[in-house]
Amino acid sequence: MKARLQDLLTEQASRRADDAAIVFKGRATTYAELHESSNRLARALQDAGCREGDRVALLLPKSPDALIAMFAALKAGCMYVPLDCSSPALRLARILQICESRCVLAVQPTGGLLAEMIALGIPETTRLAWLDDGMAVDGDVAFTRRDADSLPPKDLDAIHTAADGAHILFTSGSTGTPKGVVITHANVLHFVDWAVRYFDIRPGDRLSGHPPLHFDLSTFDICGTIAAGAEIHLLPQELSLLPHRLAAFIRDSALTQWFSVPSILHHMAKFDAVQPHDFPSLKRLLWCGEKFPTPALMYWMQRLPRVAFTNLYGPTEATIASSFYRVPACPKDETTEVPIGEPCEGERLLVLDGDLQPCPPEIVGELYIAGAGLSPGYWRDEEKTAQAFIDSTHGRIYRTGDLARVGVNGMIYLVGRADTQIKSRGYRIELGEIEAAMHAIPGVQDAAVVAIDAGGFEGLAICCAYVGADLSPIALRRKLGQSLPHYMIPAQWMTLEQMPLNGNGKVARPRLKQMFLEQHAAHNAAVAPGVRA
């Protein structure tokens, strides 16, 4: 196994220089082009003052340039920090402050967002660099694409060991501050080495690149492709929520592997976007990030009987995925429960009780993960790291917050969440972060956020009840949009004179959920009278 992620690219560039590595909007980038362009950019980063262990933020839409930047940061000895270009400037500026970024790589389409971030305040030591001709913004501009392209394409001296951080992925934090999960080279390489072997990914395979770079599923798409010498086909952002266009993309790209969150697959099933015996080149379909509703899985398996379907499970803190389950046959009915399966090679999944003792079969406990995929912890946050990563008689284990049980067949089944964290469209969301943002809005006297199963594309719908009669949901959406990404904005709202409380004086969240379920049912009945749910 290689010691560093960039070694995967170096090896493939020497083996298959002229083969396509990336395909985007009909244009192919070869392994040689990816390798040499990332070498040049790595030298530009070093010339700009980036040193071993520094953080390079990527304010880039998904594109070949973004992948070049990712490998360039690694070759320069740095950790890359992918930013969500759809997030508010305030949140992104906070991330730059937390990780103390040395450099931000941007392009003109994200220049306006960068200008907002600078106005809000980013670290004084952060330098700016453009992967195109750039635009005028306040700040220290280190170089442009033209400057980088003038540098030698030769390999750089080796930097990094397997234990060093490769990237930092920021997730929702319950206190309102995003948490930075540090992922090492060894974490990623271990999973990729297993996955390439298990899924038999080879040169000539064409893998999807659907998730954004700040989502850890993309790490497997990219590094799995490079490790196997295959092609990654990046999905244009404008197609990501159009079911029939997504189907056409799989078909026209002759993909051999599709990997996404289940909500995308559910969305395509809802709009009947898949034809019987569709996608003749597709060999395997993988999903991760949330539960895949069995009716939608049956839809896909009935139409694609030759395709292998595999459920992967794992939080960001355990690197891409920790368990897998290949569905052996199409479920016979819609009530069939699909497990998360068994641990990936080098991983352990433990269902434990409150005393950290193993639960007997069919008894629900909390799910913990141990093994090679565990992150070293949260970026410069020893307290949160100690709370989530526990030294125990089982070794170092990560508390997932998921409730699970071990079936009589030895497989692990998810039951739900033990806290206020949810998954929506594959994004991990701390409801407490939304509540913290609500309480920061002038005029909001109290607020509580819950999630209900609304049965739509979103999966779980985020619902906000608040006290503050002078504020409308429209005004609150606008205010939240200044600090939270779009996928964290509540979909349902309720104005109250006071919060329902339980006997302990705490917010009665079960009661709130029931109130929102009743509101949702009443809305559906009004929109489609006479139609049964």
Show me where the domains of the chain are located.
Answer: 25-184, 241-417, 421-527
pLDDT digits (tens, 9 = 90+) for 457-506: 556 899 999 998 789 999 999 999 999 999 999 999 999 998 898 766 67
pLDDT of 532 higher than 50? no
Nearest alpha carbon to residue 483 among 137, 55, 116, 58? 116
CATH of domain 421-527: 3.30.300.30
**Separation of alpha carbons 523 and 220, rounded Å:** 41
Q: Which residues neighbour 362 within 8 Å (Cβ) at sequence distance 6 or greater?
A: 405, 406, 407, 408
Residues of the chain with pLDDT > 70, as a percent, come to 96
Q: Which long-range contacts (CB under 8 A, 24 or more apart) does 530-533 make?
A: 533/455
pTM score:
0.87
pLDDT digits (tens, 9 = 90+) for 280-307: 999 999 999 888 888 899 999 999 999 9
CATH of domain 241-417: 3.40.50.12780
* pLDDT at residue 88, as a whole number: 93
Q: Among 151-155, 452-456, 466-470, where is mean pLDDT lowest? A: 452-456
**Architecture of 25-184 per CATH?**
3-Layer(aba) Sandwich (3.40)
**Separation of alpha carbons 97 and 55, rounded Å:** 11
421-527 and 241-417 share a CATH fold:
no
pLDDT digits (tens, 9 = 90+) for 312-348: 999 999 999 999 999 999 999 888 889 999 999 999 9
Structural tokens at position 20: 């396509």
DSSP 74: H
Span 235-245, average pLDDT: 90
**Separation of alpha carbons 266 and 282, rounded Å:** 18
* pLDDT at residue 413, as a whole number: 93
| Burial of residue 319, with CB atoms counted within 10 A of its CB: 0-12 exposed, 13-18 middle, 19 or more buried | buried
